[in-house]
Structure 1
Amino acid sequence: MKKRESFNSRWGFILACIGSAVGMGNIWMFPTRVSLYGGGSFLIPYFIFVALIGFTGVIGEMSFGRGTRSGPIDAFGMACETRGRRRLGETLGWIPVIGALAMAIGYTVVMGWIFRYMLGAFTGSTLAPADIESFGAKFGGMASAWGNNLWQLAALVICMFILMYGVGSGIEKANKVMMPIFFILFVILGIYVAFQPGAAAGYRYIFRVEPEVLAKPSTWIFALGQAFFSLSVAGNGTLIYGSYLPDSEDIPASAAKVALFDTLAAMLAALVIIPAMATTGAKLDQGGPGLLFIYLPHLIKTMPGGRIIAIIFFVAVFLAGMTSLMNLYEAPIATVQEKTGLGRIPSCMVISVIGVVVSLLIQGIVSDWMDVLSIYICPLGAGLAGIMFFWIFGRSYVESQISKGREKPFTKYFYPVCKYLYIPVCFLVLILGVVLGGIG
């Protein structure tokens, strides 16, 4: 049997998982949610849900992957094989794999936008539009069908070049460079913004607690959605990274670090963006791509040293996006390897061709594309992975996998909390997303 690839170090794995979790949700959605839902009134439930999902789903998916030493299809198949239904499990395992590939393809379009704006920050074209309407028109042209072909192809080539080097020499090494630089750059931005006139109002805005907002169900619902999608539980990327782990790895400790640094990344983004908006007296009520490609560039242009700030900001965003993109493409690449016997590079080429063709075709509808995936496929994949691991494999298997690499067995409460709370939460996220049109 061919030896499975693995991470070379504990921190290499942790940084790769942090990289998979830190993405656009931290940067273009978290600050907006904090602003819209009462600052600290949003942060309180958000921290609660991060702790819950980090303690259950992240640990569970990592352990599921390590225990089966495979991607979602074979992992689900092994679980169902214990009940004589392997083929059913493998069929269900295609859901998170296809979901990861589809999400990666949509993310490729977004990475094309980011790559263009990052290089444009160096040349000056990113900040060239004269007013907010011009920034909007520029983004609208870029985000239209066939509006950004070469840039998104270039982003995909960079991602695949890294992935072709494999887990230890590609994913791990890239994350060891990209993630520290991302955090350093955002700390620099945070310090810069702190010294701008009016920034203090932004900090007060972030940490205010409004009891009436805290009592609203919508605050808790969107805090749940933000935490759920930020931690990347979907039955694919975290599971596949877990499959590359040695038995000596203490997974609960690693999962805690991932949840901590993902939360720090989100808070850094909020501590940069909200006070920056406050310096101009603007209210942050726009999230998503519009914030990143229209409102923030327009704001940065008015700040002292705007061009340097734009360079730092978009380089950091590019690094965060690229680490997430690598994680999303890894599950389908590993699946091609497992199911066809192809080597690493040919498997990357197969997925590249699919990525190129489909990403070019969906440029004009990428927002709807990503909405469908986040509403339906991601929570469904997470819920199915939970059912396979906690319900079908059962308590004895779960507790033996969780406690590998630890000096003491993990808490006895882990299994019942996952089985009776985490899995229903996954399907609650799915139902709420369908009813409300998305909560991620």
Structure 2
Amino acid sequence: MRKKGTKAMGNNGIELERDGFKSRTGFILACIGSAVGMGNIWRFPYMVSAWGGMTFLIPYVLFVILIGSTGVIEEMALGRATKGGPIKAFGDCMQMRTGKRKAGEAIGFIPVLGSLALAMGYTVVVGWIFKYTYLAFSGKLSAMGNDMSAIGGMFGSTASTFGNNMWLIIAMVVTAVIMALGIAGGIEKANKVMMPLLFIMFVGLGIYIFTLPGSSAGYKYIFTLNPKELLDIKLWIYAFGQAFFSLSIAGNGTVIYGSYLSDKENIVSSARNVAVFDTIAALLAAFVIIPGMAAGGAELSSGGPGLMFIYLVNVFNGMPGGKIVGIVFYVCVLFAGMSSLVNLYEAPVATIQEKLKLNRVASVGIIAVAGCVVSLVIQGIVSGWMDAVSIYICPLGAMLAAIMFFWVEGKKFAVDAVNAGADKPIGKWFVPLGKYVLVPLALVALIAGALLGGIG
């Protein structure tokens, strides 16, 4: 346990009291919540299916280990060492290295703006999830049966320009309330409820799907290995992209969450837990969706929104007890979406607090209004909006954070930042792996994403 709040130096040299996580468990659950999102649910099962089960999982797990032991640790440690979000963290790094703080702060705006832009797009998606959760509870989804024209038409009208205004506003209001309550009082408490329930409900869904006739074909496919496919460079690129984006290293959310962490906490252990539970969440989604599609006689031929809001609705409606399955599934998806959305908005909120010296409620209000207005406007183009941000801004932010940590500050800073609170010193492999592998791979994610239209 730790006391609420950490000390940080303001621009006037006076120590400011910052909110913080009350417990290590709360911090880990919040970081898991930020990582577990739509990528785990509507992309990971599709990628596992598209690339042949274990053929995809082998490189994916290898990249999770690599990124979890470098990027996740680095961003947590950068935030904690500087006690600030990307702008303050990058500014501190440049000031300590070159004496030019403003240059670092200017660079730090890139991941903050990327986080805000991605949050705005994500707000649209979470609005869809709120609507479908309501439709599942009300029975309106199950009432459509297997009428694909009705199911597709429902999503088509929802995802259109100004097609889901009420539910989008509800999503933004709920997010703002959680954030206004603070790190410990809002974000930590919300994730302590949402994350355990998400895993418990997903396990329950997985057990139920296992009992359905025909589901065995899905499990058989998941455990299929095609050694020849491992020679395909695109497999490794997409597996890397899935791991890279799933673990949410983008120079923003993990940095700001790390800034609320006590120096007594073990960052290496925390990063390991985030990587492990994010992977478990993705695997649970795959073990629900792929066998579920097999039991329903459907082929998993689509990822993205179409999988979650069209094809799975059809499959659930054809299952015994499909209404209950749909309710549990969409509640799980809602928890995953909300926890990620809160994390995405946190860096912009903290920036408003730091720069304008406003209290948390006022800062949340400003960001919430801006987020809501833009989200309402981009409903019809949200797919292109999110693609642009995730392809360019997210890997750029991750690369900049890694450069600041490993190259600008250097070995001593990096090692000391990670070792604070550790049970044993980080291995000698950490800095070389970060400098010469993580940074180039972030560049690869940027270039490959641009060439292939997205890799995660």
Aligned residues: 440
Compare 197-206 and 121-130 and name the one that shifted more.
121-130
Deviations, residues 106-142 of structure 1 (Å, cap 9, x unaligned): 0000000000000111111123334112211110111
Equivalent position of 1:316 in the other structure: 332
Equivalent position of 1:336 in the other structure: 352
Equivalent position of 2:377 in the other structure: 361
Q: How far apart, in 2, do the equivalents of 1:284 and 1:362 lie?
A: 29
Q: How far apart, in 2, do the equivalents of 1:365 and 1:278 lie?
A: 32
Equivalent position of 2:114 in the other structure: 99
Equivalent position of 1:84 in the other structure: 99
Retained in 2: the 8 A contact 1:166–1:344? yes
1:53 to 67, 72, 89: 67
Equivalent position of 2:50 in the other structure: 36
The secondary structure found in structure 1 opposite 2:140 is: coil
The secondary structure found in structure 2 opposite 1:283 is: coil
Q: How far apart, in 1, do the equivalents of 2:285 and 2:231 lie?
A: 25
1:166 to 148, 171, 182: 182
| Cα distance, 1:8 vs structure 2 | 0.3
Task: Say whether 1:251 aligns with 2:273.
Answer: no
2:202 to 186, 193, 211: 186
What is the identity, as a one-letter code, of the residue corresponding to 2:27?
Answer: F
Q: How far apart, in 1, do the equivalents of 2:429 and 2:414 lie?
A: 12
Deviations, residues 26-76 of structure 1 (Å, cap 9, x unaligned): 000000000000110000000000000000000000000000000100110
| Cα distance, 1:428 vs structure 2 | 0.3
| Cα distance, 1:281 vs structure 2 | 2.6
Retained in 2: the 8 A contact 1:27–1:266? yes
Q: How far apart, in 2, do the equivalents of 1:265 and 1:53 lie?
A: 17
Task: Say whether 1:437 aligns with 2:453.
Answer: yes
What is the identity, as a one-letter code, of the residue corresponding to 1:43?
Answer: L
Unpaired runs of at least 5, structure 1: none
Q: How far apart, in 2, do the equivalents of 1:431 and 1:282 lie?
A: 35
Equivalent position of 1:414 in the other structure: 430
| Cα distance, 1:280 vs structure 2 | 2.5
Compare 63-72 and 83-92 and name the one that shifted more.
83-92
What is the identity, as a one-letter code, of the residue corresponding to 1:90?
Answer: E
Q: How far apart, in 1, do the equivalents of 2:319 and 2:406 lie?
A: 52
| Cα distance, 1:249 vs structure 2 | 0.6
Compare 216-225 and 129-138 and name the one that shifted more.
129-138
What is the identity, as a one-letter code, of the residue corresponding to 1:206?
Answer: I
Unpaired runs of at least 5, structure 2: 1-14
Equivalent position of 1:74 in the other structure: 88
Q: How far apart, in 2, do the equivalents of 1:109 and 1:127 lie?
A: 23
Please give the residue correspondences for 1:220-239 in structure 2 after superposition, counting only pairs within 5 Å. Answer: 220-239=236-255
Retained in 1: the 8 A contact 2:78–2:258? yes
What is the identity, as a one-letter code, of the residue corresponding to 2:120?
Answer: I
Q: How far apart, in 2, do the equivalents of 1:63 and 1:329 lie?
A: 20
Q: How far apart, in 1, do the equivalents of 2:387 and 2:357 lie?
A: 33
Q: How far apart, in 2, do the equivalents of 1:301 and 1:395 lie?
A: 56
Retained in 1: the 8 A contact 2:296–2:319? no
Q: Percent identity over the alignment?
A: 58
If the length of structure 1 is used for normalisation, what is the TM-score? Answer: 0.99
What is the identity, as a one-letter code, of the residue corresponding to 1:64?
Answer: L
Equivalent position of 1:154 in the other structure: 170
| Cα distance, 1:285 vs structure 2 | 1.3
Retained in 2: the 8 A contact 1:38–1:214? no
2:37 to 3, 14, 23: 23
| Cα distance, 1:427 vs structure 2 | 0.5
Distance 1:213 1:281, change over 3 A: farther
Task: Say whether 1:134 aligns with 2:150.
Answer: yes
Compare 74-83 and 291-300 and name the one that shifted more.
74-83
Q: How far apart, in 2, do the equivalents of 1:94 and 1:272 lie?
A: 39
Deviations, residues 204-235 of structure 1 (Å, cap 9, x unaligned): 10010001212111111110010000000000
The secondary structure found in structure 1 opposite 2:142 is: coil
| Cα distance, 1:406 vs structure 2 | 1.4
Retained in 1: the 8 A contact 2:73–2:268? yes
Retained in 2: the 8 A contact 1:300–1:306? yes
RMSD: 0.7
If the length of structure 2 is used for normalisation, what is the TM-score? Answer: 0.96
Retained in 1: the 8 A contact 2:76–2:254? yes
Equivalent position of 1:349 in the other structure: 365
Equivalent position of 2:12 in the other structure: none
Equivalent position of 1:294 in the other structure: 310
Equivalent position of 1:425 in the other structure: 441
Deviations, residues 183-203 of structure 1 (Å, cap 9, x unaligned): 011001000000000111100
4+ residue segments displaced more than 2 Å? 126-130
The secondary structure found in structure 1 opposite 2:98 is: coil
Compare 273-282 and 58-67 and name the one that shifted more.
273-282
Task: Say whether 1:386 aligns with 2:408.
Answer: no
